[in-house]
Amino acid sequence: MQKTRIVVKVGSSSLTDPSTGLLSSEKIHTMSDQLAPLLQNPMYEVIIVSSGAIAAGRGKLGWQTTRTLPEKQAASAVGQSLLIDMYQREFAVLQRVVAQILLTRADIEDRRRYVNIRNTMETLLHARVLPIVNENDTVAVSEIRFGDNDSLAALVAILLSAQYLVLLTDIDGLYTGDPRVDLDAKRIAKIEKIDDHIRSLAGDEGSAVGTGGMRTKLRAAEMAMDSGIEVVIAATHETNVLSRLLAGEQVGTHFISSKDHRSARKSWLIHGTRSSGRLCIDEGASIAIQTQGRSLLLPGILQVEGKFQEGAIVDLVDVHGGAIGKGIVSMSSFDLQYLIKKDANIRHLGDLPEVIHRNDLALL
Ligand SMILES: Nc1ncnc2c1ncn2[C@@H]1O[C@H](COP(=O)(O)OP(=O)(O)O)[C@@H](O)[C@H]1O
Ligand SMILES: N[C@@H](CCC(=O)OP(=O)(O)O)C(=O)O
């Protein structure tokens, strides 16, 4: 029988005491109790994405706050080992071995590293080891930081083609407004599409330790839904919330995954990578790639922006600047610039070079 693969993201707010911002043993036990039935059931493959390193480090160092990035990185360097030690002790009673996996955005963006991470994680899951993922805060400089673990959790769920992404937090779902300010706000039980209206409901983090609040959770949900993954935002403190959810009970806010989702590789291309340039393409090329499943050929390219090598990832836009998708180019920006400047007749001689093969093209 096929196993159910679940990525459970545990936010800082689920592990810390709101009055001190430090790790709370009571909350840690609550979180472990939620996870225990899943970890004991061989039909579930669980991956944890856990925040809390900064809070743990702050506690050890006796720091009240961590304001600057180097302070956060230093606190995380101290706290990460404490966090893993805590998980090791919590799950040792269930005879589960844990593994620490620290990732940066650059690890996800690079296809070779991405595939390597997947192989390692698959090997761990096969050996019934529990992978515990966090951002490698210490080395992640601002341009390559996820910053919030919600996006990281979504990308891990995509990487592993999980069936579920559960974002455990200090509130039982998305409300019609931030419940801290809107006292009439109501929980939304089910969301089939994240549109501008839904986005407008999401506010920032609810505590000094959280990052991104509902905004980053919605972004994560969007990525995962688009990749065929069911997403649930649920409260860590709600009794048996994970078991009830997997038994089919309606808990928290359930985001229904897209039936018509893209392949794992194209999800990685769209959600896991950043582009090094941009190609503006004409109407004929837009139609050919969007409705006829064709590759992008040289004559359709009107403009090349940015400097990139062959194999780079670029954005595709139409003549009005509207985003069409992303793709992996077969030639450098230098060669492309040269070729598109040539006389149109020369460009049409011989075979038309495929600038982006259709298998390397992901449309929005
Ligand atoms: N529309 C909303 N519905 C529910 N919670 C919201 C909303 N807008 C903002 N929030 C806040 O988001 C917080 C959860 O996000 P965050 O603090 O980042 O938690 P975590 O550390 O678990 O990632 C809640 O405590 C809540 O105050
Ligand atoms: N990597 C950081 C977590 C940052 C973060 O995303 O926090 P949260 O929004 O609480 O999940 C840490 O371990 O403290």
The residue-averaged pLDDT of 181-204 equals: 92
| Centroid of ligand 1 to alpha carbon of 187 (angstroms) | 12
Give the residue extent of every domain in the chain: 4-266, 275-363
- Tell which atom from ligand 1 comes closest to the C-alpha of 167: 22
| Centroid of ligand 1 to alpha carbon of 111 (angstroms) | 32
In the chain, beta strands by DSSP E? 4-10, 44-50, 98-103, 130-135, 164-169, 190-191, 230-235, 253-255, 277-281, 296-297, 301-305, 313-317, 323-328, 354-356, 361-363
Model pLDDT, residue 180: 83
| 14, 31, 150, 169: residue to mutate for ligand 1 pocket, most atoms within 8 A of CB | 169
**Binding site membership for ATP: which residues?**
9, 169-170, 211-217
Model pLDDT, residue 258: 83
Model pLDDT, residue 291: 94
Give the separation between CA 243 and CA 232, rounded to whole angstroms.
Answer: 13
Is the ipTM, as predicted for this complex, more than 0.95? yes
- Ligand lying nearest the CA atom of residue 79: 2
**Tens-digit pLDDT profile for residues 119-169:** 999 999 999 999 999 999 988 776 667 878 999 999 999 999 999 999 999
Give the separation between CA 210 and CA 94, rounded to whole angstroms.
Answer: 29
The residue-averaged pLDDT of 18-39 equals: 90
**Tens-digit pLDDT profile for residues 282-340:** 999 999 999 999 999 999 999 999 999 999 999 999 999 999 999 999 999 999 998 88
**CA angle 271–275–278, rounded 5-degree value:** 125
Model pLDDT, residue 353: 77
The residue-averaged pLDDT of 177-187 equals: 89
Ligand 1 binding site (Cβ under 6 Å of any ligand atom): 11-14, 169-171, 174-175, 177-180, 201-203, 205-207, 210-214
Share the mean pLDDT of the chain: 92
In the beta sheet, which residues pair with residue 156? none
**CA angle 17–156–115, rounded 5-degree value:** 145
Assign 38 a pLDDT band (cuts: 50, 70, 90).
very high
**Tens-digit pLDDT profile for residues 209-252:** 667 789 999 999 999 999 999 999 999 999 999 999 999 999 99
Model pLDDT, residue 303: 95
Sign of dihedral through CA atoms 179, 183, 187, 191?
Answer: negative
Model pLDDT, residue 278: 97
CATH level 3 topology of 4-266: Carbamate kinase (3.40.1160)
Give the separation between CA 234 and CA 138, rounded to whole angstroms.
Answer: 29
Smallest CA separation from ligand 2 atom 3, residue: 51
Assign 350 a pLDDT band (cuts: 50, 70, 90).
low
- Tell which atom from ligand 2 comes closest to the C-alpha of 55: 14
The first and second tokens of residue 92, run together, are 């040792």
Q: What is the pTM of this model?
A: 0.92
Taking the domain 275-363, which CATH number applies? 2.30.130.10
Give the separation between CA 353 and CA 349, rounded to whole angstroms.
Answer: 10
Give the separation between CA 352 and CA 182, rounded to whole angstroms.
Answer: 59
Give the residue from 269, 268, 324 showing the smallest Cα distance to 301.
324
